[in-house]
Amino acid sequence: MKKIVPYLWFEDQAEEADPVKAQRAMDTMLHMQKIDIDVLRRAYDGA
């Protein structure tokens, strides 16, 4: 059986190292029951 491994968007954003954007995305993620990458991208971008 093969495992499906999701794309880790956070790894790409960690390289940018903008602490304000990263904190915004982390705060958003901590309130999620299911991780939604599109919502995290919007939070990271400040949208």
What is the rounded (10 degree) CA torsion for 45, 32, 5, 44?
10
Share of the chain residues as helix, strand and coil, in percent rounded to the nearest 5: 60, 0, 40
- Confidence at 4, pLDDT banded by 50, 70, 90: low
Q: What's the pTM value of the predicted model, to 2 decimals?
A: 0.56
CA 33 – CA 15 distance, rounded (Å)? 26
Checking if the pLDDT of 6 tops 70, the result is: no
Domain boundaries, the chain: 9-45
